[in-house]
């Protein structure tokens, strides 16, 4: 037990090395840009002040979104997806896989979970002992199931998923802009030092190296940012891009795609004013998702999620479809039947 605990502690400490590296690079870039470039190299005060203002704006947004990605705890499945005590004991006692599947099917019948394994079985996590919600996967590094898991990123030492995917995309965006600002403002002095139009000073090394490092990071981060923008437009995670989700009938890589506008809204929210800030505005609760392939009963999903204190009706009385609040997929007309409320879900056939 003691060696295992010590190994885990060492592993967790080593996982912070990439984060430390990034912060050291950013710290050095701050010194090189502010001190060596703006203070010692740029002669014009107006140019110096303008560069410093723009630089600090993008630096602040970059650091804000980066640390929000790091510090946001990955969202895990609610207790509603755990096996009840009776079924759990039966599942653990049973050795036959087909009987275990029958137990899982019985419990999953009351859950809004419509994806399956490649073999068509109920997706169940043995370490976490929960039926996996749609788009949920187990992270071996974080040792937990993560809702709408995209991937585990060593550069933020955290799982990127439902709780912080928007922050991660913004981190890539502002990191790219941060590097572009450095490259665009340093390039003229880089050329002057390279062609010896400026005298050799202690600032020369910093400015030359700053341009090369910023250009290298800009190319790599910008390519990754474009890839994730494509994923957002398709409403896919990185895992789903490599392995199409398997629904009850068949696999479908576009099973969760609701059209470009609604796909973007799932990640960034339906209010544009929050899109560019690392504040949580993603739609839904990460447990269930609207899909074009399965008819989802909102009443059933509501009863399940209420077990964990969640509801499909928010405080303002707006209807949320499966916790996904994609208001354009909800028919606003409501009918009263036996004192209850019927919500009809309509899906567009966008590619």
pLDDT tens string 47-87: 999 999 999 999 999 999 999 999 999 999 999 999 999 99
Rounded-to-integer distance, Cα 39 and Cα 216, Å: 25
**What confidence score (pLDDT) does residue 116 get?**
92
The SS3 assignment for 82 reads strand
- Identify whether the C-beta of residue 68 lies closer than 8 Å to the C-beta of residue 278: yes
* Burial environment of residue 310 by CB neighbours within 10 A (0 to 12, 13 to 18, 19 or more): middle
Measured CA to CA in angstroms, residue 210 lies from 70, 207, 322 at distances of: 25, 5, 48
Tokens, residue 157: 């030492």
CA atoms within 13 A on the CB side of 1: 0
Rounded-to-integer distance, Cα 83 and Cα 180, Å: 50
Measured CA to CA in angstroms, residue 22 lies from 11, 68, 110, 223, 243 at distances of: 19, 15, 45, 18, 30
**What confidence score (pLDDT) does residue 121 get?**
92
**What confidence score (pLDDT) does residue 151 get?**
96
**What confidence score (pLDDT) does residue 334 get?**
34
**What confidence score (pLDDT) does residue 295 get?**
53
Question: How does pLDDT run across 214-270, given as a tens digit for each residue?
Answer: 999 999 999 999 999 999 999 999 999 999 999 988 899 999 999 999 999 999 999
pLDDT at 331 over 70: no
Residues pairing with 145 in the sheet? 138
**What confidence score (pLDDT) does residue 53 get?**
97
**What confidence score (pLDDT) does residue 127 get?**
92
Mean predicted lDDT score pLDDT of the chain: 84
Neighbours of 65 (CB within 10 A): 24
**What confidence score (pLDDT) does residue 45 get?**
92
Rounded-to-integer distance, Cα 37 and Cα 200, Å: 13
| Closest-CA residue to 304 (of 312, 313, 315) | 312
The rounded Cα 61 to chain-centroid distance in angstroms is 17
Question: How does pLDDT run across 258-306, given as a tens digit for each residue?
Answer: 999 999 999 999 999 999 999 999 999 999 998 876 655 545 555 555 5
**What confidence score (pLDDT) does residue 299 get?**
52
**What confidence score (pLDDT) does residue 244 get?**
93
**What confidence score (pLDDT) does residue 197 get?**
86
- Identify whether the C-beta of residue 75 lies closer than 8 Å to the C-beta of residue 162: yes
Confirm whether 183 is a catalytic residue.
no
Mean pLDDT (whole number) for 181-196: 92
pTM reported for the whole predicted model: 0.83
Q: DSSP string covering 179-248, please?
A: HHHHHHHHHHHHHHHHTTSS---HHHHHHHHHHHHHHHHHHHHHHHHHHHHHHHHHT--HHHHHSPPEES
**What confidence score (pLDDT) does residue 63 get?**
97
CB neighbour list of residue 166: distance below 8 Å, 6 or more residues apart: 267, 268, 269, 278, 280, 281, 282
Mean pLDDT (whole number) for 7-21: 90
Active-site entry in 153, 159, 179, 183? 153
């Amino acid at each position: 037990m003691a060696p295992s605990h010590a190994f885990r502690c060492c592993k967790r400490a080593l996982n912070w090395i990439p984060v430390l590296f990034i912060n050291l690079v950013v710290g050095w870039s701050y010194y090189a840009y502010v001190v060596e470039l703006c203070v010692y190299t740029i002669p014009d005060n107006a140019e110096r002040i303008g560069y410093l203002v723009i630089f600090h704006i993008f630096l602040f947004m970059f650091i804000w979104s980066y640390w929000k990605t790091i510090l946001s705890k990955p969202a895990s499945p609610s207790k509603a997806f755990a096996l009840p005590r009776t079924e759990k004991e039966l599942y653990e006692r049973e050795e036959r896989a087909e009987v275990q599947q029958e137990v899982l099917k019985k419990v999953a019948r009351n859950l809004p979970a419509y994806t399956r394994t490649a073999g068509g079985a109920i997706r169940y996590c043995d370490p976490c002992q929960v039926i996996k919600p749609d788009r949920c996967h187990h992270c071996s590094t974080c040792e937990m199931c993560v809702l709408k898991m995209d991937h585990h990123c060593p550069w933020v030492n955290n799982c990127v998923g439902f709780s912080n995917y928007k922050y991660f995309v913004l981190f890539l965006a502002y990191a790219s802009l941060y590097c572009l600002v450095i490259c665009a403002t340093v390039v003229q002095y880089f050329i002057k030092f390279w062609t010896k139009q400026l005298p050799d000073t202690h600032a020369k090394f910093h400015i030359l190296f700053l341009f090369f490092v910023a250009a290298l990071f800009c190319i790599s981060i910008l390519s990754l940012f474009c890839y994730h923008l494509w994923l957002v437009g398709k409403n896919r995670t990185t895992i789903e891009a490599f392995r199409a989700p398997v629904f009850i009938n068949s696999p479908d890589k576009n099973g969760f795609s609701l059209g470009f506008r609604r796909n973007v809204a799932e990640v960034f929210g339906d209010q544009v004013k929050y899109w560019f800030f690392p504040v949580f505005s993603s739609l839904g609760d990460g447990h269930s998702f609207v899909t074009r392939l399965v008819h989802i009963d909102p009443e059933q999903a509501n009863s399940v999620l209420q077990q964990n204190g969640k509801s499909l009706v928010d405080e303002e009385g707006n209807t949320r479809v499966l916790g996904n609040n994609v208001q354009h997929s909800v028919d606003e007309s409501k009918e009263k039947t036996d004192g209850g409320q019927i919500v009809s879900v309509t899906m567009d056939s966008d590619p």
